Structure 1
Amino acid sequence: MASSSAAAHCRPKVVVIMGATGCGKSRLSIDLASHFRSAEVINSDKMQVYQGLDISTNKIAPADRRGVPHHLLGSLDPDDGEMTPSQFRSLGDAAISDITSRGSLPLLVGGSTSSILSLLAERFDQEEDVLDRLGPPARPKLRYDCCFLWVDVSLPVLEEHQSKRVDEMLDKGAFDELAGYYDLRRTDPEGWTGLRKAIGVPEFDRYFKKYPPPGGGGGGVCPASPWRWEDARKRDDDPVRQGAYKEAVWEIKKNACQLAKRQIEKIQRLRGCGWELRKLDATEVVRLAMAAEEEVGSGVRWQGVWKRQVVGRSVNIVRRFLHE
């Protein structure tokens, strides 16, 4: 027992922030880093690891990072092929070693449970799905001393939030971004790998196949141009084209909700097999944040609830974890 405890203390400490897409993981990571000044973020989202489609994959903007260093965020060229679990394990190991060598705290943040497991599990075989083998007798041992924070939002509230978030992303320029990424030569669904699996790409690829951007797209970042596809769409009086656009948006919203459900199911399986996941209920926060868009003064309310119920609890949990 003593030797087991000593071994645990020898392992690097890692804080893991999990949760479904849109629950506030990135916001929490930055807030935690403001309390633990030497904290650095390691992205574990499968799509955000690639360069490009920053709006569509909802990468946290540099201005919102408050100077907190981020690793594996937009760092891989999508044209180099799909990142394998083994590659993520290797890259994640290197990031943790780099961060801990400077006396800093790694914050592993993302909704891709399989990526998190591929990095943290002591025994790993990329030919097998670790989650398929999970159960009370098969809890994977961890290579690091981990503190798991699970940001949870009730599914009905999260689905409403997802719908609004898709609209916000389109307003911020996701449509133009996807138009620039469209490439007629790479629209075969059987050939979708890496970043092309990101929600928004296949849905709008079908739209752009009917209504191609100028030049057929470039397969990369949207080229600088005063001509905006979003502006063109708003001026379009073609009801058939408008219907195709609305169908693509509806598909994105539906697929985002399905992704969130799968992510929650996987997290619940981890908890069911015995992992200690500290659940942080952010349902009220998300509900108030959505209301804040329509009610004056609600913004202060949701921020206060967020600080008390999510950030405050997280800080206490991590502080105890670091002193164990």
Structure 2
Amino acid sequence: MEIASSRHRRKDKVLVIMGATGSGKSRLSVELANLFPCFEIINSDKIQVYKGLDITTNKIPFHQRNNIPHHLIGDIDPSHGEFSPSDFRRHAGDIISDIISRRKLPIIVGGSNSFIHALLVERFNPESNIFDEDSSSSSSSSKTISSDLRYKCCFLWMDISFPVLSEYLLKRVDDMFDSGMVDELAEFYKPGSDNPDNRTGLRKAIGVPEFDRFFIQYPPGEPLIEDEVHNPMREGAYEEAVKAIKDNTCQLAKRQIGKILRLKRAGWDLRRLDATEAFRAVLTSDSHGGDGGEGYSGIWKKQVLEPSVKIVKRFLME
């Protein structure tokens, strides 16, 4: 009787924007929330939920949020320990209920597919990791992913050709360093924190372990003597840390795409939006000294935003 009632009850509507890191999810969510004032945004990035390291974790800056309510972004105190998929299911579920009670609708936005899965499935087993790397290659592994969801979901999947996405991610890491990422990591560094067993929560953010290794050799805050300013060994260690961050960011994107494909194979109705040309325009413009400008904006509007608006309009009318 309980199963039947859960399947036939009227389900609340939820818009979900998925995609690999750096694929434009945050931008699209804000644009849609501007066009459809009924929306509020819930972050589903498992690192961005924590307070701190705003540059390193690439949180959307406040001035880009356009006064749209954003939930679970920088809200969790990292000293309280790991924020698990079960925690996300509980907290985000309560936020969705509150948003719905105010006659608004939630947009779930983020690259952590384990969080998205935990939140959306009707029955979630916290003891079973359906994205376990050891089982991901099994041809039957997608059968363990349920397509029985507890909300009426509209999925927008931001997809970009991987070579283009990889090139863009390398550029984005450089931009993050230009914005002060090293200073931010230096303030976060604690001597003796390089033990992998201590890596929980915010300490798992890409950038932290890579620069912990650098800071062990060259502790932040110590004044540089003249000979160390252009020390080849110091510069080599720095470049090694930067390269590791770039490599690990691209590997993260690859894993995220693999998980999205597994969800799609399991029957999740993901509406693919190909943003490849828009991101290629950004890279081409930058290589010629431009800023992405109208070429990028025009392609983005035509190939990403306008199709998204049509999908969302139909979803809201259902």
- TM-score when normalising by structure 2: 0.91
Q: Secondary structure at the match of 1:135?
A: helix
Give the one of 215, 234, 237 matched to 2:230: 237
Give the one of 166, 174, 181 matched to 2:181: 174
Which runs of structure 1 show a deviation greater than 6 angstroms over 4 or more consecutive aligned residues?
none
Residue in 2 that maps onto 1:125: 125
Distance 1:275 1:305 in 2: 27
Over 3 Å counting, the alpha-carbon distance change for 1:6 and 1:269 in structure 2 is closer
The residue type paired with residue 247 of structure 1 is E
The residue type paired with residue 319 of structure 1 is K
**Offset of residue 297 of structure 1:** 7.7
Over 3 Å counting, the alpha-carbon distance change for 1:192 and 1:151 in structure 2 is same
Over 3 Å counting, the alpha-carbon distance change for 1:16 and 1:253 in structure 2 is same
Distance 2:109 2:199 in 1: 25
Q: How does 1:296-315 map to 2 (within 5 A)?
A: 296=290, 298-315=292-309
The residue type paired with residue 56 of structure 1 is T
Residue in 1 that maps onto 2:265: 272
Over 3 Å counting, the alpha-carbon distance change for 1:84 and 1:138 in structure 2 is closer
Q: How does 1:1-324 map to 2 (within 5 A)?
A: 10-131=10-131, 134-136=141-143, 138-214=145-221, 236-295=229-288, 296=290, 298-324=292-318
- TM-score when normalising by structure 1: 0.90
**Offset of residue 35 of structure 1:** 1.1
Compute the RMSD of aligned alpha carbons.
Answer: 2.3
Identity rate, percent = 53
Q: Is the 8 A contact 1:282 1:309 kept in 2?
A: yes
Offset from partner CA, 1:116-162 (integer Å, 9 cap, x none): 01111111111111335852575331010000000001110011011
Distance 1:8 1:173 in 2: 52
**Offset of residue 214 of structure 1:** 2.2
Q: Secondary structure at the match of 2:17?
A: strand
Distance 1:284 1:5 in 2: 45
Distance 1:5 1:147 in 2: 22
The residue type paired with residue 316 of structure 2 is L
Q: Is the 8 A contact 1:117 1:130 kept in 2?
A: no
Over 3 Å counting, the alpha-carbon distance change for 1:213 and 1:297 in structure 2 is closer
Gaps of 5+ in 2: 133-139
Q: Secondary structure at the match of 2:60?
A: coil
Offset from partner CA, 1:224-267 (integer Å, 9 cap, x none): xxx9x9xx99x921110000000000000000000000000000
